[in-house]
Amino acid sequence: MNICIICAKSNSERVKNKNFLKINNKPIINFTIEAALKSKIFNKIYINTDRKSFSYHNKKVQIFIRPKFLTKNSARVLDVVQHQIKKENFKHVKNIFILFPTCPLRNSNDIKKVFALLKKNRFKKQVVSVTEYIPSVDVAFQIDKNGQLRNFDKKRYALSPGNNNHRKFYYCNYSVIASSIENLKKAKKLINEGSVPYVMPYLRSIDIDERFQLQLIKKLI
């Protein structure tokens, strides 16, 4: 049995109420719910939120109201997910996908490809969606204590010399995180070294953290 947990608290620091803002008269969170439903992977889709007024009319979608202490900015996503696992006592659940509403351009095919990687690794390893840094940090400058540009210290960071074959670096884009429930129960961090990457293109990886990203997504949808 596979389930999906969509983490969507009401308060947010930079873009107020970003999980529930509307794009084309549709709440941002609905794009993620629809992608999860369209993937046809999940027996149940949970909206983990503190927003009691939110509803979505589909028998597979269920609202889980998180306690107040997990609505603070200091609360980790892992704490939120592990709390729900304990409360719901998911006896027949084998795998959990964690999705975030602020990545509305991620689609059902992305979710299905992550699931395929999870199966390929016999459900023993976490699968995490990532995006390549553009440009590579290998060609970056640093700003020193005098406010001047300095070449990136490749020796300090054990990077290969700059040439046309720059090393690639990736960041977790928080579009899709998938893991067995057993691994999540004992996890100390949400993202673990040794996880299997699912590489996504930059445009589908945009995560709304600033208002300009919201405006960009409005133009892309």
For residue range 71-86, what is the model confidence (pLDDT) as tens digits? Answer: 988 899 999 999 999 9
If we measure between CA atoms, which residue out of 127, 104, 116 comes closest to residue 178? 127
d(C-alpha 128, C-alpha 106), whole Å:
13
Lowest mean pLDDT among 104-118, 161-175, 182-196: 161-175
Rounded to 10 deg, the angle between the 108-120 and 28-39 helix axes is 50
Helix and strand numbers (H, E) in the chain are 5, 11
Q: Is the dihedral of CA 78, 63, 115, 26 positive or negative?
A: negative
Q: Return the structure tokens found at 181.
A: 């429930």
Interval 12-59: pLDDT, tens? 777 888 999 999 899 999 999 999 999 999 999 999 999 999 999 999
Q: Clarify whether residues 17 and 122 are in a common domain.
A: yes
pLDDT for 141 equals: 76
Which pLDDT score, from 0 to 100, does residue 10 have?
A: 87
Q: Looking at residue 80, what is its pLDDT?
A: 97
Q: What is the pLDDT of residues 109-134, one digit of tens each?
A: 999 999 999 999 988 889 999 998 87
Give the count of beta carbons closer than 10 Å to the beta carbon of residue 72. 9
Alpha carbon distances (Å) from 33 to 60, 105, 169: 10, 12, 30
Q: Which residue has the higher pLDDT, 204 or 147?
A: 204
Residue 54 phi, psi (nearest 5): -80, 140
Angle at alpha carbon of residue 117, lines to 113 and 122, rounded to 5°: 145
Q: Report percent pLDDT > 90 for the chain.
A: 65
Same-domain check for residues 125 and 73: yes
Report residue 158's pLDDT band, with 50, 70 and 90 as the boundaries.
Answer: low
79 and 33 fall within a common domain = yes
Q: Examine the domain organization and report whether 149 and 59 are in the same domain.
A: no
Tally of domains within the chain = 2
CATH number for the domain harbouring residue 116: 3.90.550.10
